[in-house]
Structure 1
Amino acid sequence: MASLPVVPRIKLGSQGLEVSAQGLGCMGMSAFYGPPKPEADMIELIHYAVGKGVTFLDTSDVYGPHTNEILVGKAIKGIRDKVQLATKFALGVDDEHKFCIRGDPGYVRAACEASLRRLDVDYIDLYYQHRLDPKVPIEVTVGAMKKLVEEGKVKYIGLSEASASEIRRAHSVHPITAVQLEWSLWSRDVEEDVVPTCRELGIGIVPYSPLGRGFFSGKAVVEEIADGDSRKTMPRFRPENLECNKVFYDQLCALGETKKATPGQLALAWVHHQGQDVSPIPGTTKIKNLEENIGAIGIKLSQEELKELEDAVPIDAIAGDRHVNMPITWRHMSTPPLSSWKEA
């Protein structure tokens, strides 16, 4: 492989956080995409990423649950000052293996303190509310997060899967540094309202699944999804939808031949070209895939080439919803008005 491009750093949001322009999503190392990967291999991968300039690491207490934070904590031992550590709270799994959400102040504090212990760190750089709690006004949840900032347990706060109106409400309580959202060539609903709101308020943007959960890297098209991988249940990967969607991968392959790039690199380069306030967090468990993702940073696309990519993946032609749990995404979730809140 040719030498990798230098990973630039960007200011994420307007409160002072600086991160690598491409991060590393660590979820798949421990959960959801098949069985957990060997710990030693994943620590080696994280060290390799940081050595190459990918220093913005993303995890959550629900990944495992809990085991991914422990893994990341072990990986950053001795290099804490070199990384920007992001984790999340609010989303859990109950005894029936269904997602449950909490954003009440007592839970916010307990979740943060538990994450600090698992990560074995004194502070978290960026602490996200993973999903909105429909029972708790967002002002109440962010108020509890603000106290964590004041106590030094958290440096900056963020939201994940929040609508424009919820972002505004949260930002009125304490500056929101970043919003994590699904944004890729085949998931673009955030462009109408959420992304412009972030930019108006000076909030950084962290796209998750920028490769379409691996679709644009060939997962399920040229590489089979293994049993136990949650993508088997994702609407766009179901056989009837995948048959329709495969054409978009093929079209990116054809465009990649002219740019000497893989379809995954083109898809990731497209995300990088969406702005200087954007730091996507593609996940991987293999060093060769990490190198491929870093290579996307060096791809320069003209306006005409960006349009070619968008035309190759027309959003109104994608078969299937972007998420298996659409009811807990920003399009469906909202929190009650602050005036209604009575703490138990």
Structure 2
Amino acid sequence: MSIEKIKQALTTVKYPGFSRDIVSFGIVRSVNFENGKASVSIAISSSDASIPTAIRDSVEQALKPIAEIKDLDVSIVLTGNKKAEASTANDGIPGVKYIVAVSSGKGGVGKSTFAVNLACAFSQILEKEGKKTGIMDCDIYGPSVPLMLGISGRPYVEGDSLIPMEGHNLSVMSMGFLVDEDTPVVWRGPMVMKTIQQFSQNVKWGELELLVVDLPPGTGDAQLSLVQTIPLSGAVIVTTPQAVSTTVAKRGARMLEKTNVRILGVAENMSYLEGPDGSRQNIFGEGGGQKTADDLGTELLGQIPLDQSIREGGDAGKPIVLSDPDSTAAQSFHAIAQSLLSKIRI
């Protein structure tokens, strides 16, 4: 009997809580078959004690109907930092102390704009301590961080590693540096997962106090690959006030919670339009960010106004945190960054 037949059967086993199977998820380390005995080795990083048992039971059920298998050995190996939830330090990427993911679940809420300005705010705060910040753009299909930071070119290769690009005192890595501007990235899941693994394992980030990770929208390959590859210090959920955004944001947060990622808080983007007289117009509704935070059992970190200058800064490669540090928006980003630092450094 071929090992491929066993692997095919394993594709029917779903990772608990997800629709994705354990083979494409990349947690099946080895499959062997000899003299009627099948051996399957699986590596997971979850600290949820119920998941290894659930996977083992499902694997046994999937392989039981195969008549050629007379004996079965399923080994589950726990990898990564089991104390990730309680620890503030992050040893997933050499030299990087803390890693904060920015997630939204839904596209169109300004998540990348938020991530770039948040990274700039972190950089300004940490620079005073003599420490460095970086940003990893994991939106493989629509990388926008290079444009928003005004950085172009190709990263240098040193041995088997890439050297991140530099801009605004940030170390930056993005798929946008590796493909031509007009070239679409037409990849299936495994290629996306491999790229994100390389961004974390084959990039010489150097000594960083904090790395911001801009996740793509959704709850698919990129998110799963990231949380399987490195233990995050936590994640920020970005939403706009309206229900169509908050509903999807909560779904994305639940996905992160299932993989034991700490939700640090919710940020409400495009929260309000401020008039010349200081009055506020709630263009996209009101209270969505607070309700999302309440439903997730976390806090509302802050509200970012709907400001034309934020968009102009992103298009020009000059984030508003740098171009207009005294603006209401820039001050909001700084307050959120300071709050997050306090949380992850506890």
TM-score, L = length of structure 1: 0.37
RCO higher in structure (CA 8 A, sep ≥6): 1
- Greater strand share, structure number: 2
